[in-house]
Amino acid sequence: MSTVPGLNQIQFEGFCGFMDRGLTEELYKFPKIEDTEQEIEFQLFVETYQLVEPLIKERDAVYESLTYSSELYVSAGLIWKTSKDMQEQTIFIGNIPLMNSLGTSIVNGIYRIVINQILQSPGIYYRSELDHNGISVYTGTIISDWGGRLELEIDRKARIWARVSRKQKISILVLSSAMGSNLREILENVCYPEIFLSFLTDKEKKKIGSKENAILEFYQQFSCVGGDPVFSESLCKELQKKFFQQRCELGRIGRRNMNQRLNLNIPQNNTFLLPRDILAAADRLIGMKFGMGTLDDMNHLKNKRIRSVADLLQDQFGLALVRLENVVRGTICGAIRHKLIPTPQNLVTSTPLTTTYESFFGLHPLSQVLDRTNPLTQIVHGRKLSYLGPGGLTGRTANFRIRDIHPSHYGRICPIDTSEGINVGLIGSLAIHARIGHWGYLESPFYKIFER
């Protein structure tokens, strides 16, 4: 405890995490791409990727207004399915900006630093509020890895609803059925089946009579569609894209939090919201209504996660690969249409990756020009934490409770160093010994106390 840790360590650990894990995770997500007639298949061989030493030095990058970066190369194969022939080449994906010894990146000759962001951790949170009659209303909010929210609420008649928007809500039974559970499975997996049966009318039974009926009912409520829509694959894909992908992808952190809060044992690799999660959350909500269980403090740091440099760079790399996928798909189709023979090098361009990172470092609110007033301001700037930014809060919507000092900040966030004006309490600094743990939580060491 007497040794002060490296003050730029949080930046170095974040960047190393991206280079060691994030890079390969996103490359493995790159799909195999086929032409429309399924004659040619393009794929990346991730195991062979390599990063080349920068061609210029840091000082030269600053003087010549260049980016201090490393070139990324990956082996790619083009397979002709009719003849089973394969052409393999090493292709240039693009440039990835590197981090220097100051914990910063040099982009177009300018020292830039990426600020760590504090977000609400994905999972489920229970709270209660008083309505206009002074009666406590209990709600459970499921937060996805993307920041989307699904609220469960219980009314005076103990009926449970899932609120998909401010104006639209749907029965928990219809939601569970749309996700694949039938009535028998629902009643077998809840602790209070009599409460679920109490509001099961004949009309409700018809809605959940089959998965197709439940999906149609859910689609009508979610999309505010009138009339009688017809079940189809395109309808399912639209619902999957607009609702389930945005609000039901928990991620590995969200899955861990859901398992801990609801006493579930669902495998960690199952990162999407399941009917079991919904039913367990509804059970816990009923228990809250009856005075069992504890409510959550949304402002406690145990319910926050740090979106580190690694997460931000990995998100941008994944976005660049999606753009690259669209380019390759279009180029393959164009080559087949014009009866040309494509090669892996002809299909891939470095533009998506290079422009994505240039845009991120130049325009993203969490990427800032390094404060070089003096050495102390440089160190402090690299240890900033911000509630602002994409997916976070804004200076006009953040309330006083979020800005205030919380007991959980002790040993983790400095209670003195913060911004002034509209962003007061929303931008802070790490305490000296604080660090980011494996699951994205802020951790602080403590002294062991022994009895004498």
Share of the chain above pLDDT 70, in %: 92
Residues 180-190 have a mean pLDDT of 79
Cβ partners under 8 Å of residue 270, min gap 6: 255
Following DSSP, what letter does each residue of 74-96 receive, concatenated?
EEEEEEETTTTEEEEEEEEEEEE
For the chain, what is the mean pLDDT? 86
Cβ pair 46, 32 in contact under 8 A: no
Q: What is the spatial distance between Cα 27 and Cα 392, in angstroms, rounded to a whole number? A: 27
Predicted local confidence at residue 231, as pLDDT: 63
Per-residue confidence band for 76, with pLDDT thresholds at 50, 70 and 90? very high
Residue with tokens 């937060």, as numbered in its chain: 143
Cβ pair 310, 19 in contact under 8 A: no
Which has the closest alpha carbon to 425: 414, 436, 433? 414
Per-residue confidence band for 315, with pLDDT thresholds at 50, 70 and 90? very high
Considering 61-70, 124-133, 237-246, the range whose residues carry the highest mean pLDDT is 61-70
Q: Is the pLDDT of residue 225 over 60?
A: no
Give residue-wise pLDDT tens across range 103-141. Answer: 999 999 999 999 999 999 999 999 988 877 777 888 999
Predicted local confidence at residue 351, as pLDDT: 93
Give residue-wise pLDDT tens across range 268-302. Answer: 888 888 888 988 998 899 888 888 888 999 999 99
Give residue-wise pLDDT tens across range 370-399. Answer: 999 999 999 999 999 999 999 888 878 888
Cβ partners under 8 Å of residue 250, min gap 6: 122, 123, 144, 145, 257, 258, 271, 272, 273
Taking the CB of residue 21, how many other CB atoms lie within 10 A of it? Answer: 12
Distances (CA, A) of 66 to 57, 215, 368: 10, 53, 17
Instruction: Enumerate long-range contacts of 369-372, CB under 8 Å, 24 or more apart.
Output: 369/110, 369/111, 369/112, 369/113, 370/102, 370/104, 370/111, 370/112, 370/113, 372/111
Cβ pair 388, 425 in contact under 8 A: no
The percent helix, strand, coil of the chain (3-state, each to 5) is 40, 25, 35
Q: What is the spatial distance between Cα 360 and Cα 353, in angstroms, rounded to a whole number? A: 11
Write out the E strands in 332-404: 367-369, 384-386
Taking the CB of residue 328, how many other CB atoms lie within 10 A of it? Answer: 21
Write out the E strands in 228-383: 304-307, 367-369
Cβ pair 7, 302 in contact under 8 A: no
**The model's pTM:** 0.87
Residue with tokens 């790619």, as numbered in its chain: 76
Instruction: Enumerate long-range contacts of 436-440, CB under 8 Å, 24 or more apart.
Output: 436/10, 436/13, 436/14, 436/116, 436/306, 436/308, 439/253, 439/256, 439/305, 440/121, 440/253, 440/305, 440/306, 440/307, 440/308, 440/311
Considering only residues 81 and 45, tell me which one the structure prediction assigns the higher pLDDT. 45
Residue with tokens 């690694």, as numbered in its chain: 310
DSSP annotation of 303 reads G
Geometric angle at alpha carbon 238, from 233 and 242, rounded to 5°: 155
Tokens of 66: 């260049």
Per-residue confidence band for 178, with pLDDT thresholds at 50, 70 and 90? confident
